[in-house]
Chains A and B, each alone.
Chain A
Amino acid sequence: MADYLSISDSERKEMLNFLGITDVDDLYADVPMALRRKKFALAEGKSQQEVYNAFKELAARNATYRSIFRGAGSYNHYIPSAVKSLASREEFLTAYTPYQPELSQGILQATFEFQTMMCNLTGMDVATASHYSGATAAAEACVMCAGAAKKVVTFANVNPDTLETVRTYLEARGIALEVLPALDGFAFLPDEGTGADAVYIESPNYYGILEDTETVIASAHAQGAKVIVGGNPLALALFKSPGELGADVAVGDAQPFGIPMSFGGPYLGYMAAKKEFMRKLPGRIVGETADAEGRRAFVLTLQTREQHIRREKATSNICSNQAHCALTAAVYLSLLGPEGLKETAIKCASNAHYLAAALAGVGAKLFYEREFFHEFVTITPYKASAIAAALEKKGILGGLPLDEHRILWCCTECVGKADMDEVVKTVEETL
C-alpha cells in the first residue's frame, strides 16, 4: 500500500508526545463517540504496481478505434506532444487558484494569454478564465443576459446536452426557456413578438450547419434581445467571428484545442463578451497591472463579482473552473498559430465534404441541404444502427445515430482518404 505520508512511526510518537497525548484518537474528542467508526468497510490498500495493473485492465475494457467519425460535442483531434509535455509540468498541474499573485505570475499570465486568444477568436472585448463546459458556459451566459422579461429563446438544433443544461439553470431562477423549431436544421427567429431578453444560437449548430447568424442577431436586436452565439471554436479559425457579426456574448467548448476526449471531461467552457458585460460576467478574470517598481504583473481582477466577496449576490457561484484545460488550450493555440489552426479547420472541413459526397454517392444522402463545417447528417431509412454496427465490427467509430434513419457524422484532421473510403465501402455494403 502506498499512503503518501511523510511521518514515520517514531516521529508520530514524538509529535503525540509534544501534544501531551498518547493516541491520535484523542484529537477527535469533539466527535461524539456514537458517531465514530470502529471499522471502515473499504478494501485494503494496494501497491502502486497493483493499482496501475488494475486500471490498465479496466482501460482495456473500453473499445479503441482505428478511426473516429463521431463528434457531437467531443472531438478527436491530434494533440502535439509538446502540448502534453508542457501542460503536465508539475507547477501548472498542482498549483492552487492564483490568489497569491507574486507566486503565480506564470499561471496568471498563461490565463491572460488564453483570454486574449479567446477574445481574438470570438471578436469580443473580454473573456473569462474558463467554465466547466460549453454547456455550463451557455447556461451561465443565458442567466447573465436574462432580464425583466425573464425569458430566453433558443432553437431545437442546439447541442442537446447544452439545451438540457441551459434548461436546468434557467428553471432554477424562474426564467422561461422557449425552444423554437429548427426546420431544415436551420434556426429562424421571427421578426417580432419574441418577447425575450436573450437568444441563444449555435453556429455551427448540433448538425454541423453554419447558421445565418447575422440575420438572427439583427432580428433579435431589433426586438431588444441580446444574442449569445455558441459553437465549435475551431470553426472560428475560418469564419466571421460572433463579435464581427454583432453578437453580445460568445460561448462554447474549446475541447478541440488540445484536450483529450477523456470520456467527456474535463473539457473547457469559454465565455467572451462585449465590454458592457465586463462587470456582470461569471467566474474569474485575469487582468494586467504593475507592481510598485513598475514591473508588469498579472492578478485576478474584478473579484467583487465573485462568490467569495458578494456571496448570495454574486454573478455566479463558480469558484474552481477548468484552469488547467485553458492552459493546455493556450499551449495548443501557440503551437499551431493562426496558420496551423486554419489548416486544421480546412482539413476537417475538406474531409467532411469529401465523405459527405462519397456517402451520398452510395445512397446515404445529406439530410439537410445546408452548408456545414465538419459535421453533417445523412439519411438512410431504418439503417442507422446497422451502419453503426457494421463500422463497429471493423474497429471504426462511425457517426452518431440520431434515430433509426439519421446519422450525425464528424471528420477531423485525424482521418484520411483511406479511412473515409473504408467507411463508404462499409455503408455501401450495409445498404
Chain B
Amino acid sequence: MKQYTNTHEWVELLEGKAYVGISAHAAEELGEVVYVDLPSVGAAVTAGEPCCELESVKAVAEVNSPASGIVDAVNEQLADSPEKAGEEGVWIFAIASPVLAEGLMSEAEYLASLE
C-alpha cells in the first residue's frame, strides 16, 4: 500500500524494498517530465532529504526521499523515457533496508491534505 509525504512523494514496501515515485498531483504541477537526474545505485539517502531531480521544460522538482537507506535500484527506462516518471504508479528508485520517514500519510489522508 502506498504512503505519501507532504512533499508529494509516495513510497511502497515490496519484498523488503521501498519503491519511490511522485504523486499524480505533483506530476500535474510539474508538467511533462523531460529529464530525470536519477540517484546512483549504492548511494545513501536520508528520509526528508532531496536525492533526485525531475525536470520539465520550465521547472525543476526535487524528490525528497521518503525513507533512509541505500539506493538499491533505479528505474532505467526513465533515462530514455523521462516523461513516464509522471505517470501513475511509475517508480523512480528503490531503497534497500529502508527506514521510513515519520509522519507519512495514507492515500486518503494525502488527498485530503491537497484540498
Contact = CB atoms under 8 A, between A and B. Distances in A.
Interface of A: 279, 303-304, 309-310, 313
Interface string B49-79: 0000001111110000000000000000000
A279 B35 contact: yes
16 contacts: A279-B35, A279-B37, A303-B57, A303-B58, A304-B35, A304-B55, A304-B56, A304-B57, A304-B58, A304-B59, A304-B60, A309-B58, A309-B59, A309-B60, A310-B60, A313-B60
A309 B58 CA distance: 7
A313 B50 CA distance: 13
A303 B35 CA distance: 12
Interface of B: 35, 37, 55-60
Contacts of B35: 279, 304
Contacts of B37: 279
Given A309-B58, A313-B60, 6 more contacts: A279-B37, A303-B57, A303-B58, A304-B55, A304-B56, A304-B57
Nearest to A311: B60
Contacts of B56: 304
A380 to B, nearest CB: 57
Contacts of B57: 303-304
Nearest to A299: B57
B78 to A, nearest CB: 15
Query: DSSP majority for the A interface?
Result: helix
A-B interface, 10 closest residue pairs, ranked by CB to CB distance from nearest: A304-B55, A304-B60, A310-B60, A309-B58, A309-B60, A309-B59, A303-B58, A303-B57, A279-B35, A304-B59
A279 B56 CA distance: 13
A279 B35 CA distance: 10
Contacts of A279: 35, 37
A279 B55 CA distance: 11
Nearest to A279: B35
Contacts of A309: 58-60
A304 B53 CA distance: 11
A309 B61 CA distance: 11
A313 B37 CA distance: 14
A20 to B, nearest CB: 39
**Most chain-B Cβ atoms within 10 A of its Cβ — which of A279, A304, A309, A310?**
A304
A310 B50 CA distance: 15
Nearest to A308: B58
A71 B81 CA distance: 50
Contacts of A310: 60
A312 B55 CA distance: 16
Contacts of A303: 57-58
A313 B59 CA distance: 12
B11 to A, nearest CB: 25
Contacts of A304: 35, 55-60
B65 to A, nearest CB: 18
A303 B37 CA distance: 15
A304 B60 CA distance: 6
A416 B56 CA distance: 56
Contacts of B55: 304
A194 B56 CA distance: 39
A1 B59 CA distance: 47
A62 to B, nearest CB: 46
Contacts of B60: 304, 309-310, 313
Nearest to B61: A304
B105 to A, nearest CB: 27
Nearest to B53: A304
A309 B56 CA distance: 11
A382 to B, nearest CB: 60
B80 to A, nearest CB: 16
B86 to A, nearest CB: 15
Contacts of B59: 304, 309
Contacts of B58: 303-304, 309
A230 B35 CA distance: 31
A309 B35 CA distance: 15
**Most chain-A Cβ atoms within 10 A of its Cβ — which of B55, B58, B59?**
B55
A310 B58 CA distance: 9
A310 B37 CA distance: 14
A363 B57 CA distance: 63
B50 to A, nearest CB: 10
A278 to B, nearest CB: 10
Nearest to A301: B57
A304 B58 CA distance: 6
Contacts of A313: 60
A313 B61 CA distance: 12
Nearest to B56: A304
A427 B35 CA distance: 62
A310 B56 CA distance: 12
A279 B60 CA distance: 13
Nearest to A304: B55
A310 B35 CA distance: 14
